Amino acid sequence: MSKINPKIDLVFKKLFGTEQNINLLKSLVNSILPENEQVTTLELKNPYNQSDYLSGKISYLDIKATDENGKWYDIEIQVAPYDFFGFRLLFYWAKMYSSQLKTKQTYDELRKTIVISLINFDYFIDGEGEERYHRRIGLTDLDTGKIYEQTDGLELIFVELKKYKKELPEIHSTLERWITFLNKAHEYSKDNLPKELAIEEIKKAMEELEVMYFNETEQEHYESQQRRYLDEDALAKQEERKIQNAVNDAVDNRNIEIAKEMKLAKEPIDKIIKFTGLSKDQIDKL
């Protein structure tokens, strides 16, 4: 089993942000993009370099790349929520988009910039039965939904990892395979990958995880981020328990009130039990 968490930003960058693993990045990006927008090649603009990281030249562990059509991509993973996350994404998009132009270049040389965020928390609030773990946001005509060529320069793509609930037999797409890999790499090794995940790129990713090495500085960063990941996960579960307990208490209190009213109305005890779920002893004590 993998002992390294691929959802930690440093691991993600070392796994997908190096020249030797460019096919892993291309597979991941294509799994997230629509079928009619698949990329053929990707060129890394900020490949992971250990010496740059150690010298402090790398402070933001995203992955920047361009495709064969000149489109720019910024790919990142984020394990914990924080305030103004959406504003931050727009800020980084704006910097990336505007920095394309060099001296004497003109506006028509600007290319679409796509920010892909894989996030380990629920960011969007969906209605019941409408939950989505993958969504694309861009600039459209607010009245017609139409996209215009010269204003189609922004796209934000979100993949909310925790919202993905499918089990192995339900996996059909490459995106579902990559999400499962990111969520459950700790359960597998390159030698025991289930058939649903056993595509070439994920086999390679598992192999890379199992031999990945950290120097002292990288190890400190990894452990710090892993602690944050575990703390956020524990807090989220604690909050879920609090909400569930509050719901249970509200239901119990309502059932008690119903039982009291039914007793006053001299309803049969069996009927009260059926309608409230309370035990005979609980009802007798009311």
The predicted structure's pLDDT at residue 61? 84
Residue boundaries of the structural domains of the chain: 9-213, 216-286
Burial of 61 (0-12, 13-18, 19+ CB in 10 A): buried
The predicted structure's pLDDT at residue 282? 74
Nearest-5° Cα angle at 226, 221 to 232: 130
The predicted structure's pLDDT at residue 173? 95
The predicted structure's pLDDT at residue 81? 83
Q: Taking the C-alpha atoms of 46, 47, 53 and 57 in order, what is their torsion angle to the nearest 10 degrees?
A: -20
Q: Which residues pair with 138 in a beta bridge?
A: 155
The predicted structure's pLDDT at residue 86? 92
Each residue of 88-116: b (16+ CB within 10 Å) or e?
A: ebeebbeebbeeeeeeeeeeeebebbbbb
Amino acid at 55: S
Paired sense of beta strands 154-160 and 113-119, if any:
parallel
Q: 3-state DSSP call for residue 172?
A: coil
Task: Single out the residue of 79, 244, 91 nearest to residue 154, CA to CA.
Answer: 91
Q: Which residues pair with 113 in a beta bridge?
A: 72, 154
The predicted structure's pLDDT at residue 250? 63
The predicted structure's pLDDT at residue 246? 61
Question: pLDDT for 111-154, tens place per residue?
Answer: 999 999 999 988 998 887 778 999 999 999 999 999 999 999 99
Burial of 236 (0-12, 13-18, 19+ CB in 10 A): middle
* Residues of the chain under the 70 pLDDT cut: 1-2, 52, 54-59, 231-240, 242-252, 275
